[in-house]
């Protein structure tokens, strides 16, 4: 998939100069940080193999929206099903992994918010 060509087709980026930076670490998506000068976004392109892994974009979007409502995740800007691309707002911060989690958050409080997610 030619991610950069697809991004040029997206209406909010079409007539703007944007900076696109690949984000590393995605196992089930190709992720890109996009800066249009006024806003920053993350474009998440799902791989075709995700269906074989049991991943579901509809459920992912649902969970993103709940996380945003709770103030613990980015807002969904738009989903482009023709490209299997989810566009979300970019939140500047650090990647949290199990080794550093206790240093940044009270895990019990974080975990209690996460339990409201829909489980399939």
Per-residue pLDDT of 69-110, as tens digits, reads 998 899 999 999 899 899 999 998 776 666 766 665 555 455
21 located within any domain: yes
- Return the residue matching tokens 């399939």: 120
120 located within any domain: no
119 located within any domain: no
Question: What range defines the domain where residue 104 resides?
Answer: 3-114
Using a pLDDT cut of 90, give the percent of the chain over it: 32
What's the first-to-final CA gap in the chain, in angstroms?
A: 29
Domain count, the chain: 1
Separation of alpha carbons 65 and 21, rounded Å: 24
108 located within any domain: yes
More confident residue, 18 or 118: 18
| pLDDT band, very low/low/confident/very high, at 62 (cuts 50, 70, 90) | very high
pTM of the model as a whole: 0.73
Q: What CATH number is given to the structural domain containing 24? A: 3.30.200.20
85 located within any domain: yes
102 located within any domain: yes
| Whole-number pLDDT of residue 118 | 43
| Whole-number pLDDT of residue 60 | 86
- Find the DSSP H helices in the chain: 3-9, 11-14, 57-70, 101-104, 107-114
């Amino acid at each position: 998939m030619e991610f950069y060509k697809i991004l040029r087709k997206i209406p909010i980026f079409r007539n703007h100069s944007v900076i696109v930076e690949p984000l590393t670490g995605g196992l089930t998506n190709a992720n890109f940080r996009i800066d249009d000068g006024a806003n920053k976004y993350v474009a998440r392109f799902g791989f075709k193999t995700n269906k074989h892994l049991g991943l579901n974009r509809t459920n992912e979007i649902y969970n993103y929206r709940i996380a945003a409502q709770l103030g613990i995740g980015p807002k969904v800007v738009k989903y482009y099903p023709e490209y299997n691309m989810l566009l979300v707002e970019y939140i500047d911060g650090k990647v949290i992994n199990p080794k550093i989690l206790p240093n940044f958050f009270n895990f019990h409080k974080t975990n209690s918010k996460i339990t409201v997610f829909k489980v399939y």
